[in-house]
């Protein structure tokens, strides 16, 4: 007989009866995945586990399914740079990273292999276009020796060179001195031996010379007179020379200009010459034609500070006398200096005898334009009219020619030809007298206009023209011819101080 012991203290040696004993009162000790502590609950827990487990058919179907084990169905917890949340996406992401990673470097910089490898710049790969502007500093350039300059003295195109001071100065431009139109900067010429003892200084023309004495050099005024025709006035220059001789009319050259000797000099320290352009500030005059020293060295040139121009137009012709008109006289010509600068118009002719009279001619007018400054500018004097005399044995007095500040009045004489104006005064010609009673004497011609003007800072050249004399009128019936007017004049005085 089996004896049963119960946890409540009862025991029995008899077989179990049909009386039910609840399983919930039977305690169990849970282990593994079992959590229940009584038999009833444990049985229920175990049955539940059995019910929820897959059947063999379901398990077989799962195993044989083509999608049951897809990587996309398996979850993944991303970490690092990996972002995918399932195995398939994670694998795809990793493959993409592998495909896009560099396997090698080519071109100017090369490298190959996995992991960290050393890259190499291909020889001669760094060209000018691959260096940005202003990127290369002096520190990156090659070292240079002290007191050298980057440049190139070797012929042809090539690499820069480090030049010495001697090499650098050998390729620099030399100074070009002023010869009248300015010079250019550059290396100055080296002084010669003894230049310091001689007291020489570098001049603007690029030569070493002894400066002129501090005592001012005086040059007297010079005068050029033009008494006929037309042409070009060339300004005079006074050259300061050590000693020299030259004859008037001889020509010398300097600075590509030909100069003509104004007046003969002998063993002189100054010589005056006219030229169409300016000479150099100092240098040598070389004879081209005429008589004089072959060369004249000059240390200084004086150019006129201003010009004084005196001029008159030509005088008009006087009319002839007589009881009837003779041929007409003519007007005097215009004198000019410069292009529309100074103009002294010629005097007007006297009118021919008509209606018992002969009128005198008007004087010429004047014009003075800037930059000339007028000292005096007046019209020429009017010629006197002729006259009529009806008294027997008395001849009519002819008219006198007009005058200007140069004078030159052409007076009148009865019963004779008209007087001529004095040469180069621009005076008008006198009227002609009659040789019979009841005649009419001729009128006098008008004088040319008169100008005296100053031209400051004069140009090297000016055009000029001298007014011609007006011709006399011819004699009329029982009369005498008139007198010619006087030609005009242009006088230019040059002042250096």
For tokens 């195109």, what's the residue? 157
Q: Which residue has the higher pLDDT, 43 or 213?
A: 43
Structural domain contains residue 478: yes
From first CA to last CA, the distance across the chain in angstroms is 172
Same domain? For 446 and 415 the reply is yes
Structural domain contains residue 466: yes
Burial class (CB in 10 A: 0-12, 13-18, 19+), 69: exposed
Please identify, among 286, 303, 320, the residue that sits at the C-terminal boundary of a domain. Answer: 303
Please identify, among 282, 303, 324, the residue that sits at the C-terminal boundary of a domain. Answer: 303
Structural domain contains residue 253: yes
Same domain? For 277 and 342 the reply is no
Same domain? For 328 and 248 the reply is no
Of 206-220, 401-415, 428-442, where does mean pLDDT reach its minimum?
Answer: 206-220
Of 260, 223, 256, which Cα lies nearest the Cα of 239? 260
Structural domain contains residue 267: yes
- Token pair, residue 441, equals 């004497």
**Which H helix or E strand runs over 289?**
strand 283-289
Distances in Å between the Cα of 76 and the Cα atoms of 68, 85, 93, 302, 312 are 16, 5, 12, 109, 123
Same domain? For 332 and 271 the reply is no
Residue 5: φ, ψ to 5°? -105, 135
Q: Taking the mean position of all CA atoms in its chain, how far away is CA 352? A: 63
Same domain? For 289 and 319 the reply is no
Same domain? For 487 and 349 the reply is yes
How far is residue 356's CA from residue 228's CA, in Å, rounded to a whole number?
Answer: 37
* Helices within 337-402 (DSSP H only): none
Interval 228-257 mean pLDDT: 95
How far is residue 440's CA from residue 323's CA, in Å, rounded to a whole number?
Answer: 6
Structural domain contains residue 203: no
Same domain? For 284 and 330 the reply is no
Structural domain contains residue 397: yes
**Structural domains counted in the chain:** 2
What is the pLDDT at residue 242? 87
Of 113-127, 179-193, 403-417, where does mean pLDDT reach its minimum?
Answer: 113-127
Structural domain contains residue 13: no
Q: Taking the mean position of all CA atoms in its chain, how far away is CA 12? A: 140
pLDDT at 114 over 80: no
**Domain residue limits at 396:** 304-497
Same domain? For 407 and 283 the reply is no
Residue pair 395/434 in contact by the 8 Å Cβ criterion: yes
What is the pLDDT at residue 409? 79
Residue 368: φ, ψ to 5°? -125, 120
What is the pLDDT at residue 236? 96
Residue 124 makes CB contacts below 8 A (sequence gap 6+) with none
- Token pair, residue 386, equals 């002729």
Of 467, 456, 459, which Cα lies nearest the Cα of 421? 467
Same domain? For 265 and 240 the reply is yes
Burial class (CB in 10 A: 0-12, 13-18, 19+), 265: buried
**Is 0.85 surpassed by the pTM of this model?**
no
Q: How confident is the model at residue 35 (pLDDT cuts 50, 70, 90)?
A: confident
Residue pair 325/293 in contact by the 8 Å Cβ criterion: no
* Dihedral class, residue 276 (left if φ above 0, else alpha if ψ from -120 to 50, else beta): alpha
Q: pLDDT digit string (tens) for 398-429? A: 889 999 999 987 667 777 889 999 999 999 99
Q: pLDDT digit string (tens) for 307-351? A: 999 999 999 999 998 888 889 999 999 999 999 999 999 999 999
Same domain? For 461 and 380 the reply is yes
Same domain? For 292 and 250 the reply is yes
Interval 78-106 mean pLDDT: 78
What is the pLDDT at residue 49? 76
Instruction: Work out whether strand 230-234 and strand 461-465 pair parallel, antiparallel, or are unpaired.
Output: antiparallel
Residue 283: φ, ψ to 5°? 150, -140
What is the number of alpha carbons within 13 Å of residue 386 lying toward its C-beta? 48
Structural domain contains residue 209: no
> Mean pLDDT in the chain?
86
Q: pLDDT digit string (tens) for 44-76? A: 878 887 777 656 666 666 666 666 567 777 888
Same domain? For 277 and 343 the reply is no
Sign, CA dihedral 257-260-261-267, equals positive
Please identify, among 259, 277, 303, the residue that sits at the C-terminal boundary of a domain. Answer: 303
Length, in residues, of the chain = 497
């Amino acid at each position: 007989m089996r004896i049963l012991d119960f946890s409540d203290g009862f025991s029995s040696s008899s077989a179990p009866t049909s009386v039910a004993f609840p399983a919930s009162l039977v305690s169990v000790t849970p282990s593994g995945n079992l959590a229940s502590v009584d038999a009833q609950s444990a049985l229920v827990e175990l049955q539940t586990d059995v019910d929820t487990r897959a059947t063999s058919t379901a398990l077989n179907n799962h195993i044989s399914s083509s999608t049951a084990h897809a990587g996309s169905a398996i979850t993944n917890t991303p970490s690092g740079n990996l972002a995918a949340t399932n195995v398939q996406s994670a694998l795809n992401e990793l493959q993409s990273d592998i495909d896009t990673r560099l396997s090698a470097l080519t071109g100017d910089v090369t490298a190959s292999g996995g992991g960290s490898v050393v890259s190499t710049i291909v020889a001669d790969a760094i060209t000018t276009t691959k260096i940005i502007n202003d990127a290369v500093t002096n520190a990156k350039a090659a070292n240079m020796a002290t007191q050298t300059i980057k440049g190139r003295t070797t012929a042809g195109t090539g690499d820069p060179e480090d030049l010495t001071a001697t090499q650098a100065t050998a390729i620099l431009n030399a100074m070009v001195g002023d010869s009248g139109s300015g010079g250019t900067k550059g290396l100055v010429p080296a002084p010669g031996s003894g230049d310091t003892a001689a007291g020489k200084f570098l001049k603007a023309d690029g030569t070493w010379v002894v400066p002129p004495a501090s005592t001012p050099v005086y040059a007297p005024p010079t005068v050029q007179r033009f008494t006929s025709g037309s042409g070009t006035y060339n300004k005079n220059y006074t050259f300061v020379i050590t000693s020299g001789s030259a004859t008037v009319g001889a020509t010398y050259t300097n600075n590509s200009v030909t100069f003509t000797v104004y007046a003969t000099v002998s063993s002189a320290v100054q010589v005056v010459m006219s030229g169409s352009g300016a000479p150099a500030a100092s240098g040598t005059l070389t004879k081209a034609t005429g008589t004089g020293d072959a060369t004249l060295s000059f240390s200084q040139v004086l150019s006129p500070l201003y010009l004084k121009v005196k001029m008159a137009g030509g005088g008009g012709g006087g009319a002839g006398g007589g009881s009837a008109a003779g041929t007409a006289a003519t007007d005097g010509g215009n004198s000019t200096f410069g292009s529309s600068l100074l103009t002294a118009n010629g005097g007007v002719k006297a009118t021919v005898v008509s209606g018992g009279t002969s009128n005198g001619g008007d004087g010429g007018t004047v014009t003075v334009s800037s930059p000339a400054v007028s000292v005096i500018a007046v019209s020429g004097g009017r010629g006197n009219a002729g006259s009529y005399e009806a008294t027997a044995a008395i001849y009519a007095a002819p008219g006198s020619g007009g005058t200007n500040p140069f004078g030159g009045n052409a007076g009148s004489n009865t019963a004779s030809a008209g007087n001529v104006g004095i040469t180069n005064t621009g005076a008008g010609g006198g009227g002609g007298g009659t040789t019979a009673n009841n005649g009419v004497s001729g009128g006098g011609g008008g004088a040319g206009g008169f100008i005296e003007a100053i031209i400051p800072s004069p140009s090297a050249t000016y055009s000029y023209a001298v007014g011609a004399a007006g011709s006399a009128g011819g004699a009329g019936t029982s009369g005498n011819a008139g007198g010619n007017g006087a030609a005009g004049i242009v006088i230019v005085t040059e002042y250096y101080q």
